[in-house]
Amino acid sequence: MFSTIVSPRFGDIDGLGHVNNTVLPVWFEIGRNPIFRLFSPDLDLSPDVWHLILVRTEFDFLRQMYFRSDVEIRTFITKIGNSSFTVGHEAWQDGELKVRGQAVLVYYDFKLQKAIPLPDSIRDTLKAHMLPAMDTTEMDTDSPCSI
C-alpha cells in the first residue's frame, strides 16, 4: 500500500466549507503516482515507454471532508487481470475513512491502439502491493452521507 498526504487548498472547498467532490479524482490520481512509477520510474510519457490508460473510476462518498485538516490517500492493488489491473483508493481525514473508490487501468500499446498483456515482471511487482478488494455493496449506515 502507498500513502500520500494531501492538504486541501482553499480552492478545493465549496460554499459550505466542505471539500468539493470534484477534487477526489485529482487526489486519487496523485495517489496513483507511485503505481505509475512502477511502470516508468521517471514518468516518461512517450508512447514507447508509457503504456497505461484509465478506463474506469468510481467513488463512494461516505463522509464529508473539511478544510484545514490533511487527507491521507491510501492506494493499493485489488485485482490483476491479463492486460488490466484495479487500483483501490481510500481518503482518510482525522482517522476516519471519508471516501473510497477504485480505478481500472489497462496496459496499452498506443502505436497498435490495443490492450496488451501485462509483463510478468510488472505483474509480480503489482502483486506486492495487493490488498483485498473493497466491498462497495454495503454502505456505512451510520454515516451522515450514506447512500
The per-residue pLDDT for range 111-147, each reduced to its tens digit, is 999 999 999 999 999 999 998 765 544 444 444 444 3
The per-residue pLDDT for range 58-108, each reduced to its tens digit, is 999 999 999 989 999 999 999 999 999 999 999 999 999 999 999 999 999
> What is the predicted pLDDT for the residue at 133?
63
Q: How many CB atoms lie within 10 A of CB 74?
A: 17
**Prediction pTM value:** 0.84
Rounded to whole angstroms, how far apart are CA atoms 113 and 70?
Answer: 40
Rounded to whole angstroms, how far apart are CA atoms 104 and 83?
Answer: 11
Q: Map out the domains of the chain with their CATH numbers.
A: 2-127 (3.10.129.10)
> What is the predicted pLDDT for the residue at 139?
43
* N residues, the chain: 147
Q: How far is CA 39 from the centre of its chain?
A: 16
Rounded to whole angstroms, how far apart are CA atoms 112 and 118?
Answer: 15
